A and B are shown apart, each in its own frame.
Chain A
């Protein structure tokens, strides 16, 4: 829990991974390129003294994850967002099953999402039902640029995707997290185009659509869609580190998001293991909009707004009772392991 000026900020990290990009697991050059690309982002944005070596980066393991999130990272709960990439990695890059091993050890600390690929047809639907049955997943993470056979990507507004979204409605899987980030693949068709979110969100008002990476570099398309679709949310993964290295640009982006979406539909995500949440959260908590930005956008990024972005909005989506969690964390295993019990027992305002 982050504590600032006598206020407790309960942090739900909306975007975490437990991946395996070890050399043994890479079966396609795309897999090697993928982790190298991530590592470029890691070294570009992480302060030098906080950078990892590539070996650690390939596979950091569950103990390091717990330590980096809960031990030092100010994070109270984490939401797993699986990324399969089965064509690139023998056992997948970051599957629901991988994430589940840790999530099931500490179910009070993690939210476990599943995933689907509409190109897998009936078999894919069956897998989705299985995930619901086995893990009671509240959401799915979708990676529309994933390769599958001859296909180099898919769209959320396709007929096949709609069939899967309807299945989500029927199964009570309500949070649809779509990766919409930097263009890497495929070559010319823009598989991270955000336009498909529009139609899907209109057609399935009972589902929530979280656009990860706020569609960067398609922020303008994303904000325009989100302004019109009340069930569209913005996830800050990858944008959040700009709070440290490019605070002015981060302020402009927050200004746009607050202007178009309001303060209730923006979700923090560190994107762990891209980098550790500790410095990212500190940079966001210390960030202030400039007077010009406040005037231009007519919005505030104050402590109340930050509390929503860092935890309360995700709590709303995933039906998490923050006060109950705080009581529970006074004595759960993670608090015992990292000596956090006191932290949850004492109210910040009483300090």
Chain B
């Protein structure tokens, strides 16, 4: 339950990226700010925000202490994925100005005990689970790789839609799509869409050594580049933007095959999303749980 929030210590913490989240004028953390921050945590298999997927069940704020409860579509969702989401909730919310510590609670899952105790105690996955034989990094990489492919499909579709040719697409670089300086955190590119100067939602691509300009919807390109940066596929503004599933440069003759493979990754992701959504609806109904309003 939401409790009256304390005025203390709210402005004491800032992140290296600057103050994050929206502390209100009175210096309190709001549930909206928490949700906004948690929007960055994704279901790693579906590459979609856990807020959008309605996994967040409750947010309670008690001074600098935050409590977040979440649910998953079934009690059998991979414990590895559940762990990633639980740690993601904790890490992201603790970056909010005004939050000292977050307690995460996963409910209705076969591994609530291990996950809740493990994540809140800051343990490693392989230490929290008796049966675990290895960490989760390989799984995370493999899911990230798939997410990158599905995003590549949507980005390349957008470029094909505005008339770019395969040979132009395979040679694009971040600089060509207007990103001359790569941020450390790929998400900075995605969130930049909030910039009021970008109100058309388009970006301009420079081709043929600056003699040709093409406008293309910004969202799919930015979402792709963010993931490409975060997976270390793209490390410089002059790197090729797109790559094969193995992370290699795409030869012009490979364009169709690579594009079809990324399409399969996208269909896989949305198909699995359909399965999860059906399970989620059967379990919790079609409506999201009410979030607690802040006390005042």
Contact = CB atoms under 8 A, between A and B. Distances in A.
Contacts of A245: 274, 278
Contact of B271 (A44, A189, A219): A219
A216 B80 contact: no
A216 B270 CA distance: 11
Interface size classification for chain B = 35 or more
B264 A188 contact: no
B281 interface: yes
B264 A256 contact: yes
B120 interface: no
Interface residues of A, number: 36
Interface in A179-213: 182-184, 186-190
A227 to B, nearest CB: 9
Given A43-B282, A242-B274, A184 B76 contact: yes
Contacts of B76: 33, 37, 40, 182, 184
Contacts of A238: 275
Interface stretch (A16-24, A91-99, A104-112, A246-254): A246-254
B294 to A, nearest CB: 34
B279 interface: yes
Contact of B146 (A40, A152, A186, A220): A220
B75 interface: yes
Interface in B234-286: 245, 260-261, 263-265, 267-272, 274-275, 278-279, 281-283
A52 interface: no
A115 interface: no
B287 interface: no
Interface in A37-66: 37, 40-41, 43-45
A217 interface: yes
Contacts of A218: 268
Contacts of A216: 268, 271-272, 275
Nearest to A187: B132
A224 interface: yes
Contacts of A40: 74-76, 279, 282-283
Nearest to B264: A220
A259 interface: yes
Interface in B122-180: 125-126, 129, 131-136, 139, 142, 146, 149
B79 interface: yes
A177 interface: no
B279 A36 contact: no
Interface string B31-59: 00000000000000100000000000000
Given A249-B271, A256-B267, A224 B261 contact: yes
Nearest to B134: A188
Contacts of B78: 183-184
B279 A33 contact: no
Interface string B62-81: 00000000000011101111
Given A184-B76, A187-B129, A188-B132, A217 B268 contact: yes
Nearest to A45: B278
B110 A33 contact: yes
A260 interface: yes
Given A188-B135, A189-B133, A259-B260, A217 B271 contact: yes
A221 to B, nearest CB: 8
Contacts of A144: none
27 contacts: A33-B75, A33-B76, A44-B282, A152-B131, A182-B275, A186-B133, A187-B79, A188-B80, A188-B125, A188-B132, A188-B134, A188-B135, A188-B136, A217-B268, A217-B271, A217-B275, A220-B261, A220-B265, A220-B268, A239-B271, A245-B274, A246-B274, A249-B271, A252-B267, A252-B270, A256-B263, A260-B264
Interface of B: 45, 74-76, 78-81, 110, 125-126, 129, 131-136, 139, 142, 146, 149, 245, 260-261, 263-265, 267-272, 274-275, 278-279, 281-283
Given A186-B133, A242-B275, 20 more contacts: A33-B76, A33-B110, A37-B74, A44-B278, A183-B80, A186-B131, A187-B131, A188-B135, A189-B134, A190-B142, A216-B268, A219-B271, A220-B261, A220-B264, A220-B267, A224-B261, A242-B274, A249-B270, A255-B267, A260-B264
